[in-house]
Amino acid sequence: MHDVADRLHLRDLRLHRDAMLWLAALLSTLVVLVLPAAFRGPAGSEAGRIVSAEILTPQGRWRPVDLHALKLPKGQVSILRAQVDMPSVTRMSGPPLGLYLSGTFSADAAWNGIPVGHKGQPGASARTEVPGPVDAVLPLPTEPRPQPRNLLTLQLSAERFAAPHSIIHGEGAIFGLRVAPFSADARRPIGYYAAPFLMSGLLLLAVISVTARGSVSWPATAVVAGLLICALTELSRSIVDYAYPWHALRMWGLKLAAVPIAVGCVRLAMERSRWRGPAPWDSRATALLIALAFAAPLQAPQLIVVGALTGGLVAAAAAVVRRDSGLGQLAAALLLMAGASRLPSPDYMDQGLYAAAIPLIVQLLWRPRPLTRGDHPVSPETPVCPGPMVVGAAGSRRFLDLAMIRAIHAAGDYVEIDLANGRRLLELRSLGALAENLPPSFVRVHRSHIVNLAYVEELRSEGGGRYRLRVGESLWTPVSRTRIAEVRARLGC
């Protein structure tokens, strides 16, 4: 009974620690989402407001355009004009102003008819165009002072890069075309990328920790690696003001990093839900997911959202069917990642993704360990596990620490060894042959299942004399009617 009391106490402690981890993760998410607002650059009461924008058609007519979806025709230099209203505080005594241009284009700019500078040199072909930097700021003349309504004229070309949505990059205060107080540094402020910056540090620590422990599955590794690559790719824009054709390489980097995130989210949910088939089917399903992710005509944000949403729904369905709180936590973390794309701020890849991923990272990498005998005070009569188990064929032997095995399942002529890190190993021996060499902490609860009692978290009645054991966070194992008495006695219940 003393052992049972210890087990219940430690279980309550783990649940409390789970709750504290989730609370800390959610608070971190809120902080990371709010923090970049302090670094969004010059804006607010001193910034201009673009009232309208028009582009000159080949027929010589001005056509209204949406700057959020502005694409330029190839083989010509386009002319865009915009009406910019300036607040009275800026017109009368405000600081010097700058024209901020951000996107995959080259431009010549004029302010109220006065040339103010270049972002590269526009041209009607890739040979004649001199590509400008992806981000640029041009100082506006201090005299005469801005008018209530001002005319901005741009000659534009984008012959070196086919923008997927718009040549103008940015939203809100980091808008791709804006007039605001001048800053000599055209790069986006590092604080704007506070979310990926903080997440990069968190992920690097996670990689070091997981590498040292060796206790994470490949889907979790794929998600972490993809997020790390995405974060570092986003940070590059605040470090190097590269020529705009290089933006294509950056976009491809984000797409390639989004694939392991999306596929990893789906496979992680399937793995935790125990939705797995034979090894060949499993490999083909994974290959199909990767192929679909690469072939999908989706940008990186959409790809990640689809993967996280799919994985979240799979985990949620399994959590409802199995009444598994661990799967429910995974579903909540994945759905939060997908839901962050619907936040009022449109900067999903810049900020929202990394903030929303914190609960998932915490669950994947810093989950409290399942209860083991090492968590209990060891008394003289407590059996000590013998040496490691040797598995594998001749020439490819592996030594397994018995404390890492939470269950063993019969599968035809071989067995599946279920490890605490979520991995499964195949062994060409019968369940009975393995059972002969296992310590007393391992109990055969069914003709096809052996469990390590150190990992048992719950014994649940299904009615009609049927019982199930929850082993670890998400593994459910049936208990046969003939063995339930022994299992109850061993658990002290």
What pLDDT, in 10s, does the model give residues 390-448? 776 545 667 778 888 889 998 877 888 888 877 888 888 888 888 887 888 889 999 89
pLDDT for the residue 381: 39
Is 80 exceeded by the pLDDT of residue 193? no
pLDDT value of residue 152:
93
Q: Model confidence over 197-238: pLDDT tens digits? A: 777 777 777 666 655 555 556 788 888 888 888 888 888 888
Peptide bond into 359 cis (omega under 30): no
Between the two ends of the chain, the Cα-to-Cα distance in Å is 9
> Token pair 């049972």 is at which residue?
4
- Among 196-210, 258-272, 357-371, 456-470, the range scoring the smallest mean pLDDT is 357-371
Minimum mean pLDDT range among 26-30, 220-224, 470-474? 26-30
Tokens 């007519």 -> residue: 61
For residues 449 and 477, the answer to whether their CB atoms sit within 8 Å is yes
**pLDDT tops 90 at residue 279:** no
The pLDDT, as a whole number, for residue 191 is: 66
The mean pLDDT value for 39-68 works out to: 78
What is the pLDDT at residue 56?
92
Distance in angstroms (rounded) separating the CA atoms of residues 463 and 475: 19
pLDDT at 173 over 60: no
Mean pLDDT in residue range 79-88: 88
pLDDT confidence of 185, banded at 50, 70, 90? confident
Q: What is the mean pLDDT of the chain?
A: 78
Cross-strand partners of 82: 53, 152
Q: Is the pLDDT of residue 55 over 50?
A: yes
Q: Is the pTM of this model over 0.85?
A: no
Q: Which ranges in 240-278 belong to alpha helices (H)?
A: 247-272
Greater pLDDT, 255 or 21? 255
